[in-house]
Amino acid sequence: MADRTVPEVPLDRTSPVPLYFQVATRLQQLIEDGELPVGSRLENEVELAERLGVSRPTMRRAIAYLVERGMLVRRRGIGTQIVHPKVRRPVELTSLYDDLAKDGQEPRTEVLLLEVRRAPDHVAEALGVPGGLDITWIERLRYSGGEPLAIMHNAVPLNLLPLTEDELATRGLYELLRAAGHVPRMASQTVGAKAATAAEARQLGDPRGAPMLTMVRTAWDEAGRAVEFGSHVYRASRYSFELTLSS
């Protein structure tokens, strides 16, 4: 495995943005654009710092930042290796499938369960339907670039649209809802974190207790009718939510 030479990184030493962050941001862009391909290895930290004209602590901090974001990994006897860039998802009313496909992440879905069952109380409350009413329950494992990324549980009102395993394996749920005339227009969403259970770790290929991101969402159409309830678990090493804030 040969070391990968990092292209020149322009730095603005008069900027209030820390140098380590400028270096890390440029390296992240090179990884996401494929100029530093997955599986290749960065140059020696000392040589890289000298060539980019920064101190070794600055270089070390930039690399540590990207390790924390899941874009680099340090391996004993190998060095600093480029791994799959983390999926960064904007917090807006789109589906994971839509976002992955838009970013060229090659989404693939394994349908684990598709059945009609009585809605648990918390699902019925979220959907605004009577407790015990039948709903369509979906469990899926979503892949990105050939790696498992998320475990997805969804409930859809039974009379909203028919669903098949083939459709769910090849299309996103929101795409199917839109095609049936039930366009999600508004949602209530909660993002959290947890440790992976043994079952979740096994499905996602992470150690038991690994950090996971969670999202619980209820979406409504323009008529105010609930069209889906979702409870998802994501690998924190490969996934993050991205927010744009303004005042």
pLDDT of residue 95: 61
CA geometry: angle 8, 14, 16, nearest 5 deg: 100
pLDDT of residue 35: 82
Tokens of 194: 């947890």
What parts of the chain have a pLDDT lower than 50? 1, 90-92, 245-247
Per the document, the length of the chain is: 247
Pairing of strands 147-157, 226-235: antiparallel
Distance CA(27)–CA(83), nearest Å, equals: 13
Distance CA(146)–CA(151), nearest Å, equals: 15
Residue 172: CB atoms within 10 A of its CB come to 21
Chain centroid to Cα 143, Å, comes to: 10
Distance CA(212)–CA(190), nearest Å, equals: 14
Digit-coded pLDDT (tens) for 82-134: 876 655 554 445 666 666 656 556 788 999 999 999 999 889 888 888 878 89
pLDDT of residue 69: 72
pTM of the complete model: 0.61
